[in-house]
Amino acid sequence: MNNAEFLIEARDLNKKFKIKTGFKINYINAVENANFGIKKGKTLAVIGESGSGKTTLGRTLLRLTEPDSGKIIYDGKDITKEKMKPYRKKMQIIFQNPSSALDPKMTAKQIIVEALGVHKIAKDKKEQNERIACLLAQMGINNAYADRYPHEFSKGQQQRITIARALAVEPEFIVCDEPTSALDMSIQSQIINLLMKLQQDKDIAYMFISHDLALVKYISDETAVMYMGSIIEKSKSAEIYSNPAHPYTIDLLNSYSQDDKAYNFMHFKSPHHNNGLNKSAGQKGCAYAVKCKYAKDICRQIKPEMLQITADHYCSCHLL
């Protein structure tokens, strides 16, 4: 694929965190050599268990967390070392918990006004009020409620306000960090349908972080599977679900009930849950080798390279 087709791209992106235990200092690879691109108007889902590095990957891509090495390419330009102010308008994030993402001392109107003001979107108060009314209407919230505080809204309405805040600056790319996991099932579908409609109307690119496999299958164009900081498999979403290649991906899919009703909106716990522990920096071999029933000696000694299986299917495994 021509790299110019990507709106945003990660090239060999790395992020380590220091862990101090007593007098000993260790490092963990929260994100290790991440490579992917997202086209305008498309959705890349990033799935994996808690602690696999999904959120850190999203934050690093937006440079809310600075990468240790690698490159972030936006619209063909390397922005890894650039000042981010011009790009904050183009790149936004929707957080998992709307209650903690919204300032409890600000009304819905003030929350959106703040975003408009920072990026100087509206030229005067009249345009500002028109934009707020339009955004709230898009979210299905009556403009009469604009002066209410976050605690006066339901969880679903709170998340709609966080989406309105993100959309206020007319972004091209949004990281959706498990935006529905804190919501009831009935509200989840409303938020997902809203995000998909906004993408269709405005050609927004999404990175959709989730551990809900059924949801990801429904919403995404491509899926990247993360385990202990590494993307171990990536392909078109339909291909991942119909023809998974990595033993870990197979375990994740097998962890679901085959009953379609049970399959919908379930959060998985794989048979080999990693308890949130990422791979230590410098550790040899495949991170999944100690838990993989197919592992060979080479798996424990040498980290596998990402191999191209088909035109759009990539997997990091010695067994291929």
CA 15 – CA 30 distance, rounded (Å): 6
Query: DSSP code of 277?
Result: P
pLDDT in tens, 58-113: 999 999 999 999 999 999 999 999 999 989 999 999 998 888 899 999 999 999 99
Encoded amino acid at 14, one letter: N
> Is the per-residue pLDDT at 266 higher than 60?
no
pLDDT in tens, 144-199: 999 999 999 998 899 999 999 999 999 999 999 998 887 888 888 888 999 999 99
pLDDT in tens, 279-319: 555 568 998 998 999 999 999 999 999 999 999 999 999 99
> Is the per-residue pLDDT at 258 higher than 60?
no
Looking only at Cα atoms, what is the longest distance across the chain? 68
> Is the per-residue pLDDT at 119 higher than 80?
no
> Is the per-residue pLDDT at 278 higher than 80?
no
As a whole number, the mean pLDDT across the chain is: 88
Question: For the CA atoms of 139, 144, 147, 150, what is the dihedral angle to 10 degrees?
Answer: -40
**pLDDT value at position 99?**
87
Q: 155: how many CB neighbours lie within 10 A of its CB?
A: 15
CA 62 – CA 39 distance, rounded (Å): 16
Domain ranges of the chain: 3-90+171-316, 104-162
Q: Are residues 147 and 127 in contact, defined by beta-carbon separation less than 8 angstroms?
A: no
**pLDDT value at position 259?**
44
CA distances from 133 to 142, 170, 199, 283 (A): 8, 15, 20, 53
Element (H, E) at 315: strand 313-316
**pLDDT value at position 32?**
95
Domain 3-90+171-316 in CATH 3.10.20.30: no
Query: pTM to 2 decimals?
Result: 0.88
CA 252 – CA 79 distance, rounded (Å): 34
